[in-house]
Structure 1
Amino acid sequence: MSVFYVGGIGMICLDAQSDDLRVVDRLEWWRERTRRSIWPSTITCEDADRFHAAARSVNLGSIVVSRLTYSSSSWSRSERQVRQSDPEQFVLALNVRGQLGLSVADKQQVIDPREFNLLDTSRACHGWTSEEPGRRATQILVQVPRSLMPLRSNAIDLLIAERIPGTTGIGEVVGTYLLELIQQAPRYRPDDAVRLSAVTLDLVTALLAHHLDGVAGLPSDHREALYARVLHFIERHIGDPQLSPRMIATAHGVSLRYLQKLFKEQGVTIAGRVRQRRLDRCRAALADPHQWSYPIHKIAQRNGFSSNAHFSHLFSATYGLSPSDYRRSLQP
């Protein structure tokens, strides 16, 4: 198997390609690699003797970003394969080159270059890719565990196999970021993974929340779309110490009581969501070696805590260590 690390020992980037394998082994190698790194599926190619493939993966911990480049082929993930192995992930794909065809349940789409699509590993699906003359098909995949996605699953279901534009607005921002993330991958160090994982999740969430507004046209979808917008609003304003449930309700043109009821349906409160996201960001900053010299009270202020004593109390109660002890526990 032609697999090699790029950038030296300890890097988070892995490159693999089929070119050094025997022709008869290339397609089977790609099947096995796809099964192990993405999901079990059945891959076929009309001209297996001319099949070529290459992949670059960037391991950000729970989130993995991959670039796949390969010859025209088709794939199928059956209900049986879902039952046998389900990593319980959402997979956001940016189609970079060639065309990508998808079929999920009764929905069929053809995804053009610089368009996104979203798949769920818990669903059976079928697809095909066609390369351009002299240029193999290429996609960038972002694999996000369902447990990490802040949007509700039944809201995200509205986006499965939808065409999501990637040439304007937030789509262009996310697409440019993913292309650069993959291109610069050999230069990353393991301690970059925490920061890049947070940025990647935030951008994927922003893209899905934005597009959810566009597809949620029916009244029954309104609450899901509103919830997605509010979560995105919280992420963008998390550093504002004035961020409050009333401020959030006013910004979205709804009553505070209505918004509180909406969050209660999710088993959380608005204030609790804001507090937890602030703590999450502070913990990520404390774990980042590049910020170990940065004062803890400044990290707290940057993430919306106006009182350092209040922040320290909440952090200790949530994670079992004071902020300073948590930082020291990660230092060599």
Structure 2
Amino acid sequence: MPRPQPLSPALHLSLSTETSPPTDRMTSWKQALSRAFVSLEVLVDDPGAWRASVYADRIGPLQIATEESDPVKFMRTPEEIASDNQAYIFARLQLHGTVALFQDGRSTELRPGLLAFYDAGRPFKLVMSERYRSCVLMMPRQLLRLDDTQVRQLTATPVGDAPGGPAALLLPLLSGLVAEVPATAPPLREKLARTIADLLATLAAGHLTTPGFSPAGAGPTLLDQVKASVERRLGEPELSPRLLADEHNISLRYLHKLFHEQGTTVGRWVRQRRLEACKEELARHDGTDRVIGTVAARWGFSSPAHFSHVFRSAYGMSPGEWRSAAAGAARSRSAH
């Protein structure tokens, strides 16, 4: 069983992969993450061209880090958990780009302005499909003041997506306090860190009691299950709301209600996920010359012309322009 460990009294870490030779970047980054956070498995498509930085300070009961990186995957496996036996809670506040978080049978997409908790004592996965920046707060698990059942209900659920909930008031306050830490005189920093830890505990408790929150334990919600079906069938052109409703034994009206509560529609969400998959594949730098029409068809777009139109509407450039820009950026990074 992981043991709650106090954070070491002082740590200041500043690392950019730009200062390491391309062949050493992944090793130095994994060592930095292990020192700043916990042991993690790190996966990237092109380690030599990949760029990342992390700045972390340990103050009192809290560690505050700013993390910025090209696309990457982090995994906390049972092997990593056994290797360091640490029991920390993470709160990730998304600043730029999107991050997909998976833990306890759930998944959530963090957009800028949202926060989510995850527990280092159990496996989790973070998938960043685009360049991103996050504020990562880490503290001993007991400071969250929740029992194990509550923590399992809390993880991988977005805090801040319920209009009018307590997070709408508290998240801006949290962001402001975190931003103040570097400019605060040393004697007051620990008090400020404890205030931030208390605010995180308040956010967690408030989120569990927010109307509409579904404490689904370790199981996925119905919306999670529908989205998982979409991910599995994203390349099928015939994928439709009716097909999804029938697959999950719900009415078409109720399916639309689930997505309406998230501020979107079924069709818009499916289209966005297809566009993101195409965008990621077209930007992949592995020496493969990807034909745009083939990529579009692979992810469910039956018409290349329609794909080009919706891609330009979403990203302000054609698929070909995006592919060329991504290839140029990759060559530029390799040259440096």
Match of 1:201 in 2: 197
Asked whether 1:187 is paired with 2:183, we answer yes
Match of 2:313 in 1: none
Q: Classify 1:103/1:217 alpha carbon distance in 2 versus 1 (closer, same or farther; 3 Å).
A: closer
Asked whether 1:117 is paired with 2:113, we answer no
Give the Cα–Cα distance (whole angstroms) in 1 for the partners of residues 116 and 142 of structure 2.
20
Q: CA-to-partner distance for each residue in 1:247-292, whole Å, 9 max, x for gaps?
A: xxxxxxxxxxxxxxxxxxxxxxxxxxxxxxxxxxxxxxxxxxxxxx
Gaps of 5+ in 1: 1-10, 221-332
Match of 2:145 in 1: 150
Matches within 5 A, 1:240-259: none
In structure 1, what residue type is equivalent to 2:194? A
Asked whether 1:159 is paired with 2:157, we answer no
Q: CA-to-partner distance for each residue in 1:168-187, whole Å, 9 max, x for gaps?
A: 65434443344444544433
In structure 2, what residue type is equivalent to 1:206? T
Residue 95 of structure 1 deviates from its aligned partner by 1.3
Residue 64 of structure 1 deviates from its aligned partner by 0.7
Matches within 5 A, 1:311-322: none
Match of 2:14 in 1: 15
Q: Secondary structure at the match of 1:49?
A: coil
Give the Cα–Cα distance (whole angstroms) in 2 for the partners of residues 168 and 63 of structure 1.
28
Q: Is the 8 A contact 2:64 2:138 kept in 1?
A: yes
Asked whether 1:212 is paired with 2:190, we answer no
Q: Secondary structure at the match of 1:164?
A: coil
Give the Cα–Cα distance (whole angstroms) in 1 for the partners of residues 17 and 171 of structure 2.
26
Match of 1:89 in 2: 88
Q: Is the 8 A contact 2:153 2:215 kept in 1?
A: no
Q: Classify 1:218/1:162 alpha carbon distance in 2 versus 1 (closer, same or farther; 3 Å).
A: closer
Relative to the length of structure 2, the TM-score reads 0.55
Matches within 5 A, 1:242-281: none
After superposition, the CA RMSD in angstroms is 2.8
Match of 1:108 in 2: 107
Q: Classify 1:45/1:168 alpha carbon distance in 2 versus 1 (closer, same or farther; 3 Å).
A: farther
Percent identity between matched residues is: 17
Q: Is the 8 A contact 1:12 1:188 kept in 2?
A: no
Q: CA-to-partner distance for each residue in 1:121-155, whole Å, 9 max, x for gaps?
A: 11011221122xxxx31111111202222233322
In structure 1, what residue type is equivalent to 2:44? C
Q: Secondary structure at the match of 1:114?
A: coil
Q: Classify 1:171/1:218 alpha carbon distance in 2 versus 1 (closer, same or farther; 3 Å).
A: closer
In structure 2, what residue type is equivalent to 1:199? T
Match of 2:171 in 1: 175
Give the Cα–Cα distance (whole angstroms) in 1 for the partners of residues 75 and 16 of structure 2.
22
In structure 2, what residue type is equivalent to 1:111? L
Give the Cα–Cα distance (whole angstroms) in 1 for the partners of residues 46 and 188 of structure 2.
40
Residue 62 of structure 1 deviates from its aligned partner by 2.0
Residue 28 of structure 1 deviates from its aligned partner by 1.9
Give the Cα–Cα distance (whole angstroms) in 2 for the partners of residues 122 and 42 of structure 1.
15
Q: Is the 8 A contact 2:81 2:123 kept in 1?
A: yes
Q: Is the 8 A contact 1:93 1:116 kept in 2?
A: yes
Relative to the length of structure 1, the TM-score reads 0.56
Match of 1:28 in 2: 27
Give the Cα–Cα distance (whole angstroms) in 2 for the partners of residues 39 and 202 of structure 1.
22
Give the Cα–Cα distance (whole angstroms) in 2 for the partners of residues 149 and 219 of structure 1.
19
Give the Cα–Cα distance (whole angstroms) in 2 for the partners of residues 139 and 218 of structure 1.
26
Q: Secondary structure at the match of 2:86?
A: coil
Give the Cα–Cα distance (whole angstroms) in 1 for the partners of residues 180 and 118 of structure 2.
26
Asked whether 1:76 is paired with 2:75, we answer yes
Gaps of 5+ in 2: 1-9, 218-336
Count of residues in Structure 1 that have an aligned counterpart in Structure 2: 207
Give the Cα–Cα distance (whole angstroms) in 2 for the partners of residues 102 and 173 of structure 1.
23
Q: Is the 8 A contact 1:99 1:129 kept in 2?
A: yes
Q: Classify 1:184/1:197 alpha carbon distance in 2 versus 1 (closer, same or farther; 3 Å).
A: closer
Q: Classify 1:178/1:16 alpha carbon distance in 2 versus 1 (closer, same or farther; 3 Å).
A: farther
Q: Secondary structure at the match of 1:27?
A: helix
Give the Cα–Cα distance (whole angstroms) in 2 for the partners of residues 141 and 86 of structure 1.
20
Give the Cα–Cα distance (whole angstroms) in 2 for the partners of residues 103 and 218 of structure 1.
16
In structure 2, what residue type is equivalent to 1:30? W
Give the Cα–Cα distance (whole angstroms) in 1 for the partners of residues 115 and 83 of structure 2.
27
Q: Is the 8 A contact 2:15 2:55 kept in 1?
A: yes
Q: Classify 1:217/1:163 alpha carbon distance in 2 versus 1 (closer, same or farther; 3 Å).
A: closer
Give the Cα–Cα distance (whole angstroms) in 1 for the partners of residues 54 and 84 of structure 2.
22
In structure 1, what residue type is equivalent to 2:124? C
Give the Cα–Cα distance (whole angstroms) in 1 for the partners of residues 133 and 208 of structure 2.
26
